[in-house]
Amino acid sequence: MTLGKIKSSLSAFAILLTTASAVAVPSMLITPATTAQEQEQIRWNLTDLYPSMDAWDSARSLTNNKIKTIEQYKGTLDQSAESLLAAFDAVSAINKDAARVFIYASLGGDEDLRNAEGQEKLGLARSMFASLGQQTAFIAPEILSIGSEKLEAFIAAEPGLAKHAFQLRDILRQEKFTLGGEAESVLANASEVLGGPQRIYSLLSTAAIPWPKVTLASEQIVTLDQAAYTRYRAVQNRDDRKKIFDTFWKTWKTYEAPFGQTLDTLVRTHIFSSKSRGYASSLDQAVSNSNVPSDVYRALVKAANDNLPSMHRYLKLRQRIMGLDDLHYYDIYPETTQLEREFSVEDAKALTLDSLQPFGDEYLTFLKQGLDADWMHVYPQPGKRSGAYMQGAGYDVHPYVLLNFNKGFEDVSTFSHEWGHAVHTLLSRKNNPYETYSYTTFTAELASTTNEVLLQEYMLAKDLSDEERLYYIDRALEGIRGSFFRQTMFAEFELTIHEMAEAGEALSGRRMTELYLELLKKYHGHDEGVMNINPAYAIEWAYIPHFYFNFYVYQYATSISGGTMFAERILAGDETARDDYINTLKAGGSEYPHALLQKAGVDLSTEKPYVTLINRMNRLMDEAEVILERMGK
């Protein structure tokens, strides 16, 4: 496993979006509790990785020393099957150690991004990976010099190479885009610098912005950081929602220029890398790593645009339920019907377990194991990384889940989403050696969005009143809007800014805001009179962290489409569907993801998955309209 593979592994296993007893973690990673919620915080147990910060530092030093030994294998890969195996076994073991060092620093740092010492530790881990990249830069060029015929002979002669065979063949697949040893070394040396925009964005968006305060109609004063925005943008009081939007986006607008420069710099790094390697575009390079055809990306964008009438129909349905004379962008998040309850973490566990019963005993055993352990960091707290993710790169340990749980049904859905990633990781680990354990995000998001669909269908299968049924229909429709249409809008924005830069057009924060405004209007039917889009809210692009993950976000939309196909087959009693799905998760990174899904009956370069999704959306809207007629709305 070369550095490129391990970095892909870390990206796939740190799944951002849209957590179990209290345990001790190193003191440098803890800040004093300042709220009751912080005092009740459910923390993950990082001592499963290292018992102390001193142990972590010793492991980091030892790994750095091991990295220096990689040079001894330079020039030996073509000598024999045995020499090739010795080199790849050594590098694989070092990668596994390095990943463990990295995620300990990363998880601890994400508890409080304001903690300078924690960020310094993470910086040391990043430097370790930069060094690893420099030391392993010779591998791909040497493998290419061996050639396919001799390499296959080595694999046939040495059984120990079986676990490395997929990667070895993948290196040959990318021969056209692999440079000579000296050039690969230069690119490896530049990796830490090229990662600068992501680090700057993270610090700017989380730790540097002075968050404003707003006073709601209830006279409650809210510090409007990212977690608070996510919660209060959905309040029922319309004036409060408008105030939240106006205040939050006005604050972000102040940083339009620096965020624009940061994102523009990131785009330029992608163009630099793709041109250096001879790719036709940044998109082609981004999807090439997983061998996903760029046609899949473009098929998705086309499908979303072709089906915007269904998106607009849904927005009109929301307006009808809410009883509004007109619809604004700040009306998009509140629940249109109410449930008089909050959901606890225990509720989230129970609903997740119950809704995933169709997956069978093997899946559920792993899920129960994780839910009973202390693998989660649950509640929001000052300085904590926003959103949610699962980190599963610690092959010899277990997955970790970060949440910002606010007790709404959306938080339950996110809970189920992230635990879909975690069980995927556990199934992959059981069925693969470390070398093929790391799956790509293309299948990773399938494992999480399928959980969301099954949770929605589980709630809708209950004997409900019209009011409750309408609530869960809206939540299901919101899942489609958020995971399909919204994420595809992001994907279209990301593709457009890259294509503009590749065509020599200038990018700036102002230009990105203009472009994003055009997309907001198109996707939300502004010109058709469906929803009014205030230009002041078009700074939202600067808030979206997924733009810093190199054509990552489109996979949410492909995944809810593929996940819907799997879920409908499973719930319809298709006896092969569950096995197809579980086998996809078990495969980990042992096959290319697009081919793996095609084998399971899901081809995301065709219309069928998207048609299946939109048909479900329209069926849900049909049912909602019948209910509204009965309710006299």
- The catalytic site residues sit at 418
DSSP 386: P
Q: At what angle do helices 441-460 and 577-586 cross, to 10 degrees?
A: 140
Long-range contacts of 413-416 (CB under 8 A, 24+ apart): 413/452, 413/455, 413/456, 413/475, 413/479, 414/17, 414/18, 414/388, 415/19, 415/345, 415/348, 415/349, 415/352, 416/348, 416/351, 416/352, 416/355, 416/356, 416/448, 416/451, 416/452, 416/455
Cβ pair 378, 42 in contact under 8 A:
yes
Cβ pair 178, 171 in contact under 8 A:
yes
DSSP 503: T
Q: What are phi and psi of 134, to 5 degrees?
A: -65, -40
Residues 6+ apart with CB under 8 A from 627: 466, 469, 470, 473
Q: Which secondary structure element, helix H or strand E, spans residue 246, and what is its range?
A: helix 238-253
Q: What are phi and psi of 402, to 5 degrees?
A: -105, 130
DSSP 504: T
The Cα–Cα gap between 513 and 265 comes to 16
For residue 150, which of 139, 180, 291, 142 has the smallest C-alpha distance?
Answer: 142
Cβ pair 435, 386 in contact under 8 A:
no
The Cα–Cα gap between 97 and 245 comes to 44
Six token digits for residue 154: 């080595």
Write down how long the chain is. Answer: 633
Cβ pair 419, 411 in contact under 8 A:
no
Distances (CA, A) of 588 to 69, 393, 565: 29, 12, 20
State whether residue 391 is helix, strand or coil: strand
For residue 73, which of 95, 90, 98, 61 has the smallest C-alpha distance?
Answer: 90
The Cα–Cα gap between 312 and 528 comes to 9
For residue 14, which of 443, 401, 588 has the smallest C-alpha distance?
Answer: 401
Distance of CA 111 to the CA centre of its chain: 18
Cβ pair 489, 519 in contact under 8 A:
yes
Strands 400-402 and 376-377: parallel
Bridge partners (DSSP) listed for residue 400: 391
How many Cα atoms occupy the beta-carbon half-sphere of 175 within 13 Å?
11
Cβ pair 548, 572 in contact under 8 A:
no
> What is the b/e burial string over 531-540, where b = at least 16 CB atoms within 10 angstroms of the residue's CB?
bebbeebbbb
Tokens 């390499």 belong to residue: 151
For residue 151, which of 165, 135, 131 has the smallest C-alpha distance?
Answer: 165
| Helix/strand/coil (H/E/C) assignment for every residue in 115-145 | CHHHHHHHHHHHHHHHHHHHHHCCHHHHHHH
